[in-house]
Amino acid sequence: MWLELEEFEQLMRGAVSHDELIALSSVCDELMASRIVLHFRIDGCPLVRAIEMLILYTPLTGLVKPVWVRVRLDPKVSASRILSAPQELREEDIKLSLGSEEVSITVRFHGRAQPFRDMLRRILRAAGLEECANLNLTYDGFTVIGSER
């Protein structure tokens, strides 16, 4: 689902400021970039190493399409805790990746995009980290994945 930049800002509900989204849009327009990863962290929750959101962007139009949210976790987070998540969480398109260095949970956006913080809360609940869902979320910038320049 493609969104106007203003609609995407509403979806993010303060996780990324208006000025930061305008700056992102300007850089992407200049680079003709269409794939961007937004980076976040949760202060006070060392088990959550990083949060990333992949978006598609249509340069010069300001149209944004959220693709997925990935939460990178410390490997101390038990895979069995994630796999025993409530049924409603497992029905979503959740991809679990297990490694010796990191565990990650990726959830794809389908149809109508839900607010970012709601989706993040659901992922953290699936990981058994409900206590992290209400901590301070900090935007850490973005990375352009390839560009025409």
Choice between 143 and 89, residue whose per-residue pLDDT is larger: 143
Structural domain containing residue 127: 3-144
Q: Does the residue 113 lie in any domain?
A: yes
pTM for this model (two decimals): 0.87
Count of domains in the chain?
1
Q: Does the residue 149 lie in any domain?
A: no
* pLDDT tens column, 53-111: 999 999 999 899 999 999 998 887 666 666 666 555 555 567 778 777 888 888 888 76
Q: Does the residue 12 lie in any domain?
A: yes
Write 17-21 long-range contacts (CB < 8 A, 24+).
Answer: 17/139, 20/139
Examine the pLDDT at 143 and tell me if it is beyond 70: yes
Average pLDDT over all residues of the chain: 84
Three-state SS for 129? coil
pLDDT of res. 149: 47
Three-state SS for 122? helix
